């Protein structure tokens, strides 16, 4: 039963992502939310997460530090992480991939772009 | 590269980034006029969504709009009719500012080198103005240009019969 963790300091963006996924036909049973990387680590540890969507620029702990911390912990290594961020440079994309992110989507995005990116990790109804 | 010679390209970057945002996530019509340099005394607004950046160049990208326009944008993004200026509206304006700033930054980096973005700050009130502090010294690379007397590169837009502007302050950091 797919459970998706959305880490973004904007509650509005977390709602938009959820709505787009629900309307896209991608199968998700539950969404878990976190407002920064630190809360994301706690939520990832205490939930059986199947996919993580993570912003980059956040207070307390950035998205890239979250990815490094989660991958460095040796836990949840099989859980895919897709960065969803305004950071769109090649250097940032490369850094995210080298740190253990499995996908990258630049904001702003269309519902189709989100579906296409997450379709690699979630089933469609 | 001299800042003045970069302004035309930067103005195009701001227009392109704003257009992309409106075509993908806001879905409201958008018209724009030519950007110009404006003194901060000309700025009067209800809402400011601001993201600062640091690096070889530093500065601020800011969205200036009315509360009515902020409500329309937030309502469209959330697909629900919002009538009160709540924290959710501020959050939406912060995210709009963040997406424009992020895209402008990515385009600017080719000319200006690596830059780091702050998280957005949203200020709301009635008839807000930005006042420069006279003779305030630029003491560090990270000092916001709001404290200088530099003009804003201001691009005016119209959407849903409402005017709003995207302003940019850009300054080369001390070596």
- How far apart are the C-alpha atoms of A45 and A42, rounded to whole Å? 5
Is A110 an interface residue toward B (CB < 8 Å)? Answer: yes
Among all chains, which residue has been given the structure tokens 């930067």?
A: B10
Residue B79's pLDDT is what? 95
- Best mutation target among B53, B95, B108 (most A Cβ atoms within 10 Å) is B95
Q: Which chain A residues are Cβ-neighbours of B95 within 8 angstroms?
A: 10, 12-13
Complex ipTM > 0.90: yes
Does the pLDDT value for residue B146 go beyond 80? no
Range 10-69 of A in CB contact (< 8 A) with B? 10-13, 15-16, 19, 57-59
CA angle B77, B82, B83 (to 5 degrees): 150
- How far apart are the C-alpha atoms of B175 and B138, rounded to whole Å? 13
Residue A16's pLDDT is what? 98
A104 or B114: which carries more pLDDT confidence? A104
Tell me what the mean pLDDT of segment A39-58 comes to: 96
Beta-carbon contacts of B93 under 8 Å, excluding residues fewer than 6 positions away, are B47, B49, B63, B65, B70, B73, B74, B122
For residue B137, count other CB atoms closer than 10 A to its CB. Answer: 9
- How far apart are the C-alpha atoms of A16 and A111, rounded to whole Å? 9
CB B30 within 8 A of CB B113: no
- Best mutation target among B102, B103, B116, B122 (most A Cβ atoms within 10 Å) is B102
CB B68 within 8 A of CB B76: no
- How far apart are the C-alpha atoms of B60 and B44, rounded to whole Å? 17
- How far apart are the C-alpha atoms of B157 and A74, rounded to whole Å? 49
Does the pLDDT value for residue B44 go beyond 90? no
User: Could you report the per-residue pLDDT of B152-170, keeping only the tens digit for each?
Assistant: 899 999 999 999 999 998 8
- How far apart are the C-alpha atoms of A108 and A87, rounded to whole Å? 10
Query: Which of A16, A57, A108 is facing B119, going by the closest CB pair?
Result: A57
Does the pLDDT value for residue B141 go beyond 60? no
* Pick from B127, B108, B126, B9: nearest CA to B51: B108
Position B39 confidence tier, pLDDT thresholds 50, 70, 90: confident
Query: Which of A11, A57, A108 is facing B25, going by the closest CB pair?
Result: A108
């Amino acid at each position: 039963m797919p459970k998706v963790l959305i880490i973004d300091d904007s509650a509005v963006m977390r709602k938009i992502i959820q709505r787009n996924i629900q309307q896209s036909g991608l199968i998700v049973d539950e969404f878990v939310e976190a407002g920064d990387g630190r809360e994301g680590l706690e939520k990832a540890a205490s939930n059986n997460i199947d996919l993580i969507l993570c912003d980059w620029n956040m207070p307390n702990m950035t998205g890239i530090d979250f990815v490094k911390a989660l991958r460095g912990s040796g836990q949840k290594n099989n859980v895919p992480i897709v960065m969803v961020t305004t950071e769109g440079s090649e250097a940032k994309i490369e850094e995210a991939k080298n740190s253990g992110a499995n996908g990258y989507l630049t904001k702003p995005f269309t519902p189709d772009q989100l579906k296409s990116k997450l379709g690699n990790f979630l089933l469609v109804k | 590269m001299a800042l003045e010679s970069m302004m035309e390209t930067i103005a195009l970057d701001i227009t392109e980034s704003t257009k992309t945002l409106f075509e993908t996530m806001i879905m409201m019509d958008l018209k724009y006029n030519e950007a110009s340099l404006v003194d901060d005394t000309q700025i009067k607004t209800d809402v400011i969504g601001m993201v600062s950046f640091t690096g070889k160049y530093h500065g601020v990208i800011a969205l200036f709009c009315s509360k009515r326009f902020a409500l329309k944008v937030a309502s469209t993004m959330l697909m629900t009719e919002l009538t009160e200026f709540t924290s959710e509206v501020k959050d939406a304006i912060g995210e709009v500012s963040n997406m424009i700033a992020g895209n402008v930054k990515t385009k600017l980096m080719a000319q200006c080198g690596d830059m780091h973005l702050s998280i957005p700050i949203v200020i709301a009130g009635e008839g807000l103005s930005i006042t420069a502090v006279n003779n305030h010294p630029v003491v560090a690379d990270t000092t916001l240009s709001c404290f200088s007397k530099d003009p804003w590169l201001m691009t005016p837009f119209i959407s849903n019969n409402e005017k709003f502007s995207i302003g940019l302050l850009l300054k080369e950091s001390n070596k």
